[in-house]
Amino acid sequence: MGVTPELLRRDAVVNLLGEIERRNAVDSAGRFLFDQGERGWTEYSLYWLYVLERAEGRSRSRAVSANAGSRTRTPRGTGS
75 domain residue, yes or no: no
Contacts for 8 with CB less than 8 Å, ≥ 6 apart:
43, 47
Residue 2: inside a domain, yes or no?
A: no
pLDDT above 70: residue 55 = yes
Asked if 4 and 44 count as a contact pair (C-beta separation under 8 A), the reply is yes
The total domain count for the chain is 1
Residue predicted with more confidence, 30 or 2: 30
Domain assignment present for residue 58? The answer is yes
Would 29 be classed as within a structural domain? Answer: yes
Confidence of residue 37 (pLDDT cuts 50, 70, 90): confident
**Residue 23 domain-assigned (yes or no):** yes
Domain extent for 56: 10-65
The percentage of residues in the chain with a pLDDT greater than 70, rounded to a whole number, is 68
Is 77 part of a structural domain of the chain?
no
For 34, 44, 67, 78, the CA distances from 50, given in Å and listed in that order, are 18, 10, 26, 41
